[in-house]
Structure 1
């Protein structure tokens, strides 16, 4: 079994940016890869992936029944992969009611976990989801928060249990029983070559510094933003004006009130302090 490398993060923490970089690196082409052609890094919760691999329509199952089958899906993908498989995932690392992990260790080579200051996450998450800042801050503190969890509509992704921001981070960083490489979004911005190269080495990929630099150049924020402007982005939320908005570090200072920032700190101070955000 070759094993899956998980590209794990709480939403709006740089996961898609990293996937664009990785696609450009693996493709090693002479021009930037399209943001709508990230086939090297599929999404673990994609409904079509489940339907095609399991052979049962997810729409015929409850969310709980789907969860019970998802570990089998990942084992199957790991067993049939002919090369290292990188999968984006927003689920927290959790156990099913029967105590099996949603993410089976035996199907896993490792995880690259991306973490971002929750003050900036709140701003980006709000614009992505169409929520106001107060609602977003409240949701980020909920252990019950899910993506695609409503039963009144059919989403193109399966239900994902996010937990609170702090719980999500700790579930992967402290509880996951396989090798993990932690990347801070802020380091990805401040020292991209060093930070991305560390993830490349962790994944056992053999690329030169020049190839990493070119993949980074092809994944520059202005290129991604222009691609979205010209051709759209199929992963953009219907509630969002655009997916690639600013990508800045510290944008919360221009967007959040002192009271809103204080609420985030009150909810997540312990984990924020651990990762250098206080």
Structure 2
């Protein structure tokens, strides 16, 4: 069970109630999926958008939103109308009429999601993106090397565990999971957006797919963010920074590289990031 990782997101006063309900779900008094996610109900057609942080989750959210938005402008002001963040919009999700619901999460409770899209990215690029994100928000103040050596959940340990568990789960639940490699989405966008649309059973034309891709290009998302506001209105930091792959090659020292590989070599190799 993934109890430990999820309870980190729960306020302390709620944890006793949560753990009690989760325990009682084993004897059928509560629905495990609903208790775990904190939602009133988890429907069979719910589709969760899952990733380790800074792996492309928000990009995929914008792509899906642009596929289903009837061509309205999608920004951080209204993205949660289409693909709500489970941590911030539980009340909205509990009253949401849209079906299927598309739900953003970073939590690795794979067995509790009826269907989910899992986005993964080279962990070394993830570390660079996460570092810039947290320093920009004032949640970390230090060098990249200090960042990589700080919380295990921020570096190779957290990334490798999150991703490898998702890949292993997908092997025995292929009809339940769509794996999306960030770099493939970047380099062959049309093919992979079509995969996403097909998995979500969205009856969309190639014209609509191209529209969603166009509206979700990084330079457009950065422009929209500047015009309509960022994810966190109090922050001067922009959410969309670069989106490129291979940035770690310019920022990792040789020592950083070897340290990262000492932890995540097998996972990077399994995913094709190492020869």
TM-score normalized with structure 1 length: 0.72
Q: Distance in 1 between matches of 2:150 and 2:101?
A: 32
**1:172 Cα deviation (Å)?**
2.3
Q: Distance in 1 between matches of 2:261 and 2:128?
A: 14
Q: Distance in 2 between matches of 1:237 and 1:8?
A: 26
Shift in alpha-carbon separation, 1:249–1:237, aligned structure 2, 3 A:
farther
Residue 164 of structure 2 corresponds to: 170
Residue 217 of structure 1 corresponds to: 214
Does the 8 Å contact 2:49/2:57 carry over to 1? yes
Residue 149 of structure 2 corresponds to: 138
Residue 70 of structure 1 corresponds to: none
Does the 8 Å contact 2:50/2:116 carry over to 1? yes
Shift in alpha-carbon separation, 1:266–1:218, aligned structure 2, 3 A:
same
**1:277 Cα deviation (Å)?**
0.7
Q: Distance in 1 between matches of 2:124 and 2:233?
A: 21
2:180 match: secondary structure: strand
Q: Distance in 2 between matches of 1:174 and 1:237?
A: 39
Q: Pick the aligned partner of 1:45 from 63, 76, 87.
A: 87
**1:222 Cα deviation (Å)?**
0.4
Does the 8 Å contact 2:66/2:216 carry over to 1? yes
1 or 2, which has the higher helix percentage?
2
Q: Mind listing any 5+ residue stretches in structure 1 that lack a counterpart?
A: 54-73, 95-102, 147-161
Does the 8 Å contact 1:123/1:252 carry over to 2? yes
2:168 match: secondary structure: helix
Q: Mind listing any 5+ residue stretches in structure 2 that lack a counterpart?
A: 1-42
Q: Distance in 2 between matches of 1:183 and 1:136?
A: 27
Count of aligned positions: 221
If asked which structure has higher relative contact order (CA below 8 Å, sep 6+), I would say 1
Q: Pick the aligned partner of 2:243 from 236, 240, 247.
A: 247
Does the 8 Å contact 2:231/2:239 carry over to 1? no
1:113 matched to 2:129: no
Shift in alpha-carbon separation, 1:265–1:245, aligned structure 2, 3 A:
same
Q: Distance in 2 between matches of 1:258 and 1:209?
A: 44
CA RMSD of aligned residues (A): 2.6
**1:2 Cα deviation (Å)?**
4.0
2:60 match: secondary structure: helix
1:125 matched to 2:130: yes
Residue 36 of structure 1 corresponds to: 77
Q: Distance in 1 between matches of 2:102 and 2:74?
A: 16
Deviations 1:224-245 (A, max 9, x none): 111222332124794x722111
Q: Distance in 1 between matches of 2:157 and 2:200?
A: 27
**1:136 Cα deviation (Å)?**
3.1
